[in-house]
């Protein structure tokens, strides 16, 4: 597992949950939006900052890749 994927998963991990538990919880297909209420309460400010930075970096990387693809450069 890459470090950024580990950090993203760790940010979603609840107390007492294993990483397998997190994956199972997130992989359920028919979840109500109400099930997400409070999911982020136990995430520390530092972990949330790290996760948001991960999302920003991923978004920038996606924009760069998309730019290359739309200019015909491919990857």
Q: What DSSP string runs through the chain? A: --HHHHHHHHHHPPTT--HHHHHHHHH-SS--GGGGTTTTTTS-HHHHHHHHHHHHHHHHHHHHHHHHHHTT---
- Is it the case that residue 16 has pLDDT exceeding 60? yes
Q: Which residue would you say has higher pLDDT here, 74 or 35?
A: 35
Predicted pLDDT at 75 = 47
* Domain annotation covers residue 75: no
* Domain annotation covers residue 39: yes
The number of folded domains in the chain is 1
State the residue range of the domain holding 48.
3-70
pTM strictly above 0.85: no
* Domain annotation covers residue 64: yes
Provide the angle, in degrees to the nearest 10, between the axes of the packed helices 3-12 and 45-70. 130
């Amino acid at each position: 597992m890459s470090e950024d994927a580990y950090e993203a998963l760790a940010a979603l991990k609840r107390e007492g949950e294993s990483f397998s538990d997190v994956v199972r919880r997130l992989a359920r297909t028919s979840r109500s939006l109400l099930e997400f209420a409070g999911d982020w309460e136990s995430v520390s400010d530092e972990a949330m900052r790290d996760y948001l930075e991960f999302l920003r970096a991923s978004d920038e990387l996606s924009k760069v890749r998309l730019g290359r693809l739309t200019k015909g450069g491919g990857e």
